[in-house]
């Protein structure tokens, strides 16, 4: 039995954490920038979730992204990607992971 979030749930976590749509032509550039402004989450080992009693819960440190960044880095990432790829950002507010 596989334990962990579905692809749709992972896409949702990416959008919540970055403020960017999880699919599109911007994604390779966004992922490259993301690696430059964040680091792998030590709490979940980069998985975005932790196992609890044969189930999973979103990581409380990274919120499901598997990476940790400052609020300033979140804004920088979204701004740079949205400038280069208009429409890549989502209208919903960012969930700032501090």
Taking only the tens place, the pLDDT of each residue in 31-61 is: 999 999 999 999 999 999 999 888 899 999 9
Taking only the tens place, the pLDDT of each residue in 3-13 is: 788 999 999 99
CA 73/CA 31 separation, integer angstroms: 13
Whole-prediction pTM? 0.81
Assess whether pLDDT exceeds 60 at residue 93: no
Residue 58: beta bridge partners?
49
């Amino acid at each position: 039995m596989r334990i962990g979030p579905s692809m749709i749930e992972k896409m949702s976590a990416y959008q919540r954490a970055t403020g960017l749509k999880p699919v599109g032509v911007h994604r390779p550039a966004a992922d490259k920038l993301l690696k430059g402004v964040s680091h792998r989450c030590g709490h979940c080992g980069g998985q975005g979730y932790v196992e609890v009693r044969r189930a999973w819960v979103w990581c409380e440190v990274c919120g499901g992204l598997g990476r940790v960044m400052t609020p300033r880095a979140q804004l920088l990432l979204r701004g740079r990607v949205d400038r280069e790829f208009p429409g890549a950002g989502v209208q919903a507010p960012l969930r700032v992971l501090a």
